[in-house]
Amino acid sequence: MRRRILATAVAATGILALSACSGGGGGASGMDAKGPITIWYSNNAAEIAWGQQMVEAWNADHPDEQITAQEIPAGSSSEEVIGAAITAGNAPCLVFNTSPAAVPGFQRQGGLVNLSDFPDGEQYIKDRSGDLADQYRSDDGGFYQLPWKSNPVMIFYNKDLFAKAGLDAENPQLSTYDEFLATSQKLKAAGVSDYAINPAPTSEFFQSWFDFYPLYAAQTGGKQLVEDGKATFNDADGEAVANFWRTIYADKLAGNEQYQGDAFADGKAAMAIVGPWAVSVYKDKVNWGAVPVPTEKGTAADQTWTFSDAKNVGLFTACQNKGTAWEVLKFATSQEQDGKWLEETGQMPLRTDLTTTYADYFSANPAYQQFGDQAARTVEVPNVTSSVEIWQAFRDEYSKSVIFGEEDVNTFLSNAQTQIDQLAAGK
């Protein structure tokens, strides 16, 4: 699933095989050095197809600056593989699948190039991604990742199950918490599925990106979990979101045991929180619709925020030919290549005026239109020290309180705030 940042590919030993090629021809290691480079991309079939055509297009016009590309080598996670390559000094020049949550750690390892150090780096990123780019700045103000593509998450719902339960499948009542809970109770009472919605109840640090965080982003109009070095969620908005999910679990509208499979595709859940990658996955399996995530009192679709589920591009310090790598990065995120990306994968390039720039695509593919609109209002994970540890601390407290009901919501919010403030401060 694209919602997971964990990646599997070939053999982990493949990392070491790249030792001799991470920078290419062994020239100067300055920011303007030119020559062959290597890149890694995701093992998803559509992303591989895009990557192959991008590489072919570049190589055809740059005989002295050839790209060698491969899938990210296997490991327990892509982040672990990349971190190991940084340590070994043999990271590729570019990785087109860099999790924003991992960037602070890679930066701390000394593995990432500050793209703002290129003469046109700052301007290029801001021109392409607009104000949303600022969420990806590091503490020193630099960009150690290029904002690349997002999968803004929304509520998918099964139209057939809604109709079977006597609900309006074209205009579902899901905008407010009260409406969402009432609709969920009707689905349960009708017995059309085991659960109304069934986000993963497991303890991985990233799981809160697909239950609490999208609703918190919507409820707050775009607030991150940590801002200005402090946790933000121990307030009325955080309490409202947490109590909503606690009610979902307490009323058995979601399960607190892991389902082995895709509950939405299998008809075990009538709803799911997913991004546009799911359009192609579910098109032959579920008669689906999609709406924005709910807020306590309801928010208009064109004002609703959500979690981005973004992946970005990192340029790594082991790269000898950084000048070529930067030019390849701009080529791969040009208007033309972003259009090819959109067509191949259905994922949203992180660029301004997305729906107008690619109006023909969205006209021909109306199922993606609402995701294109939503992409302009997305919240990223905070770019802070100990990012993964922060999310793990949050998930542990959330699980104890919300999923399993072992402590009250206010205790969860207070405990999580204390831990996260300490982690964000480097303690």
CA distance 48 to 192: 38
3-state secondary structure of 146: strand
**Domain co-membership, 70 together with 196:** no
Contacts of 282 (CB under 8 A, 6+ apart): 156, 264, 265, 288
pLDDT at 124: 98
Tally of domains in the chain: 2
DSSP state letters, 279-293? HHHHTTT--EEEEPP
Cα angle 360-364-369, degrees, rounded to a multiple of 5: 85
Is residue 9 one of the residues assigned to a domain? no
Is residue 22 one of the residues assigned to a domain? no
**CATH code of the domain in which 327 resides:** 3.40.190.10
pLDDT at 351: 96
CA distance 98 to 195: 33
**Domain co-membership, 261 together with 315:** no
**Domain co-membership, 290 together with 327:** no
Is residue 5 one of the residues assigned to a domain? no
pLDDT at 77: 81
Tally of CA atoms within 13 A in the half-sphere of 413 that contains its CB: 19
Q: Is 33:27 a contact under the CB 8 Å cutoff?
A: yes
DSSP state letters, 77-131? -HHHHHHHHHHHT---SEEEEE-GGGHHHHHHTT-B--GGGSTTHHHHHHHHHGG
C-alpha dist (Å) from residue 187 to 106, 195, 238, 266, 288: 45, 8, 26, 16, 15
| Average pLDDT, 10 consecutive residues per value, the chain (427 residues) | 36 33 42 97 93 98 97 85 94 96 95 97 97 95 97 98 98 98 98 98 97 98 96 98 98 96 97 96 95 98 97 97 98 98 97 97 96 97 94 98 97 98 91
Q: Is 150:350 a contact under the CB 8 Å cutoff?
A: yes
Name the residue range of residue 215's domain: 154-307+383-425
Is residue 32 one of the residues assigned to a domain? no
**Domain co-membership, 314 together with 303:** no
CA distance 379 to 365: 25
Q: How many CB atoms lie within 10 A of CB 133?
A: 21
Is residue 368 one of the residues assigned to a domain? yes
pLDDT at 76: 72
Q: Is 163:270 a contact under the CB 8 Å cutoff?
A: no
pLDDT at 391: 97
* Tokens, residue 187: 């689905």
Q: Is the dihedral of CA 348, 230, 394, 303 positive or negative?
A: negative
Is residue 390 one of the residues assigned to a domain? yes
